[in-house]
Chains A and B, each alone.
Chain A
Amino acid sequence: MESIAVGIGLAVGIAGLGVGIGQGLAANGGLQGMARQPEAAKQINNSMLLALVFLELVFLLTFVLGFLLMGKIH
């Protein structure tokens, strides 16, 4: 049972680490593009948000997995 708890912590932590780095990279690219070309800012903004959303999904899937596993700890 303890191993499940440790597993949930590790899974959510590592997923948060990876997704944080990934979202930071996406935001970095998007913001630099917007700063260099303000006239294209709206389109870049939309694409950047889409990328962030899809990256976030990875973390949310881990979160739901952790949530499901949490039901196994009694």
Chain B
Amino acid sequence: MDLLQLSNHLVASVSEEKEMGWNIFFYSGLTMAIVLVFATMAKKGLTSRVYTYLPTRAAEHLYLFLEGMTVNVIGPQGKKYVPFLLAIWTFIFVGNIMGLLLPATPTADWSLNIAMAIITVVYVQYEGIKQNGLLGHIKHFSGPKLGGAMIVVSGLIFVVEIVSECMKLVSLSLRLYGNIEGGHIVRSSLDSIVAGIPIGGVLLPIKFFTCIIQAFVWSILTCTYLSIATSHGHDDEHEESHSDHGHSALAEPAHA
């Protein structure tokens, strides 16, 4: 109920302030178009053994960067999650960059962010169920195995975990929304100090930095959630040694 009120407030205030309204469809569609064009261009260069086409090389570097991060957080078995993270990264990055050049940004609208957060959290749950089975996944929520009368504590942990799972939606979406929209508000209030002179332009470098950081933060948080949801309770040690083994071999080229 509180979440619903908050969303109504946010949607109302955003549409009052900037009259985003239906424009969100145009801007998110434009973002998707840019991402798709970039992906198509990158795919065109996959012809030789050494990539010489610039978009392909950029995509390769992006992939290696995200793969290194994923292997670092989840371990080598996390490589199958890289496509999702890459999609999220590029979409958020392009959407954020749009705010530097165009009058509006899709990621400065809370509705798109909550949609992306729902997709992320549902995907994490899906992968957790796929990895541990439905029962194992639910058991995951109740913390470590406690015997006897401690089952009450397990129940409490279960409730807390469910609440924190729902709060992931709020925290993920509000983080992106607050960062991007906050930058816009600061810029427009700086612009309005002297009429006709866009003083807010001095913020562009730090806003560009924020764009990259926010895209990175969303993907590293997804990574962390995935590593929590897909880990097995009992063979942690095995996974630990495995990931250490793969780490030096795989994570190295990411920063080469």
Contacts and interface: CB of A to CB of B under 8 A. Distances in A.
Contacts, number: 50
B10 interface: yes
Contact of A57 (B13, B68, B171): B171
Contact of B220 (A43, A46, A64, A67): A46
Contact of A67 (B13, B179, B217): B13
A13 B217 CA distance: 24
Interface in A41-60: 42-43, 46, 49-50, 53, 56-57, 59-60
Given A67-B13, A68-B9, A42 B251 contact: yes
B175 A50 contact: no
Given A42-B72, A46-B69, A50-B224, A71 B13 contact: yes
Contacts of B217: 49, 53
Contacts of B9: 68, 71
Interface of B is mostly: helix
A11 to B, nearest CB: 14
Interface in B150-191: 171, 174-175, 177-179, 181-182, 185
Interface in B1-59: 6, 9-10, 12-13, 16
Contact of A60 (B68, B72, B178, B251): B178
16 contacts: A43-B72, A46-B72, A46-B73, A49-B216, A49-B217, A53-B217, A53-B221, A56-B179, A57-B175, A60-B179, A61-B174, A64-B178, A67-B13, A68-B13, A70-B13, A71-B16
Chain B, interface size category, equals 20 to 34
Given A43-B72, A46-B72, A68-B9, A53 B182 contact: no
Interface of B: 6, 9-10, 12-13, 16, 68-69, 72-73, 171, 174-175, 177-179, 181-182, 185, 216-217, 220-221, 224, 251
Interface of A is mostly: helix
Chain A, interface size category, equals 10 to 19
Contacts of A60: 174-175, 178-179, 182
A7 to B, nearest CB: 17
